[in-house]
């Protein structure tokens, strides 16, 4: 199976053994990816699944709204429609309650495993500026050295500030540009100068070298963890 639908608890067959099978198959795939230090998209999915299940357990009445209904009466004078639940709440709620009790601690454990890997990767990442930094640091280049891999990957980055009613937060957008083979002449300072020559719209770009002690899967782990670490790094600078 590719993933676990966000409505897996209430859609399809409402049966504990069936839901248990779906969840265990999904978590087996998650564990296999975590064993290979592949965090995304599974870590983010686990966070969402755990939050959804906890919310379901907290608000039992919301579950009933997901059950199918059928139209039973049309009142033309009051212009209202009446519906009846096709499924018996007591019968199916027992199956859902059993699934919740089984799934929540299991997903939480896998989520904790993913967080441990994330923290391990984060500890291996170092960030340092390359050359003189401009005052404007919301746009520039990230140079990623992934352990002992032979290439240094160059990403253009752009920070965006989002405002909400509760808080402000930063988001980062990255675009892969090119790679440089590691050798004596291809220092990070040389790469920065070469990018300036190639992209005149940024005459003095903010450039940072982000490196890890050991290699990790680039798209599933290194890049997403590096991006979050980088946003936090800039926020503290």
Query: What pLDDT digit, counting tens, does each position of 56-74 carry?
Result: 888 865 555 565 565 455 5
Across 209-229, average pLDDT: 96
Whether 105 and 133 map to the same domain: the answer is: no
What's the mean pLDDT when you consider all of the chain? Answer: 87
Which residue, 98, 122, 146, sits at the end of a domain?
A: 122
Question: Model confidence at 10, in pLDDT bands (50, 70, 90)?
Answer: confident
Q: Give the span between the Cα atoms of 109 and 116, in whole angstroms.
A: 11
Q: Indicate whether 4 belongs to any domain.
A: no
Domain contains 5: no
Instruction: Indicate the pTM of the whole model.
Output: 0.80
pLDDT band at 161 (very low <50, low <70, confident <90, very high): confident
**What does the H/E/C string look like for 140-173?**
EEEEEEECCCCEEEEEEEEEEEEECCCCEEEEEE
Q: Does residue 8 lie in a domain region?
A: no
Residue 156 lies in a domain: yes
- Examine residue 178 and state whether it is found in any structural domain, yes or no: yes
**pLDDT digits over 114-134, tens only?**
999 999 999 999 999 999 999
Question: Is residue 206 included in any domain, yes or no?
Answer: yes
Residue 167 has pLDDT above 80, yes or no: no
Q: Which residues span the domain enclosing 225?
A: 126-236
Residues above pLDDT 90, as percent of the chain? 68
pLDDT tier at 77 (50, 70, 90 boundaries)? low
Do 46 and 102 reside in the same domain of the chain?
Answer: yes
Are 157 and 108 in a shared domain?
A: no
Q: Backbone dihedral region of 186: left (phi > 0), alpha (psi from -120 to 50 degrees) or beta? A: beta
Contact predicate 63/93, CB 8 Å:
yes
What does residue 50 show for φ and ψ, rounded to 5 degrees? -60, -45
Are both 136 and 59 inside the same structural domain?
A: no
Exposed/middle/buried for residue 229 (C-beta within 10 Å: 0-12, 13-18, 19+): middle
Q: How many domains are contained in the chain? A: 2
Q: What is the pLDDT of residues 27-50, one digit of tens each?
A: 999 999 999 999 999 999 999 999
* Residue 182 counted as domain residue: yes
């Amino acid at each position: 199976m590719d993933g676990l639908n966000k409505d897996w608890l209430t859609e399809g067959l409402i049966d504990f053994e069936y839901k248990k099978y779906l969840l265990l198959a999904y978590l087996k795939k998650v564990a296999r990816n975590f064993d290979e230090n592949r965090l995304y998209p599974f870590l983010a999915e686990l966070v969402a699944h755990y939050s959804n299940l906890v919310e379901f357990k907290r608000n039992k009445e919301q579950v009933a709204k997901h059950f199918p209904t059928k139209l039973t009466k049309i009142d033309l004078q009051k212009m209202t429609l009446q519906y009846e639940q096709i499924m018996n709440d007591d019968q199916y709620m027992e199956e859902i309650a059993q699934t919740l009790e089984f799934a929540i601690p299991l997903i939480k454990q896998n989520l904790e495993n993913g967080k441990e890997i994330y923290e391990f990767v984060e500890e291996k990442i170092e960030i340092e500026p390359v050359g003189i930094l401009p005052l404007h640091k919301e746009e520039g280049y990230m140079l990623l050295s992934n352990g002992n891999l032979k290439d240094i990957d160059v990403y253009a980055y752009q920070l965006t500030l989002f405002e909400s009613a509760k808080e402000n937060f930063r988001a980062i957008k990255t675009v892969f540009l090119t790679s440089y083979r590691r050798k004596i002449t291809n220092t990070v300072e040389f790469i920065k100068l070469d990018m300036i020559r190639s992209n005149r719209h940024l005459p003095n770009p903010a450039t940072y070298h982000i490196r890890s002690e050991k290699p990790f899967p680039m798209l599933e782990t290194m890049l997403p963890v590096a991006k979050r670490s980088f946003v936090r790094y800039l926020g503290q600078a």
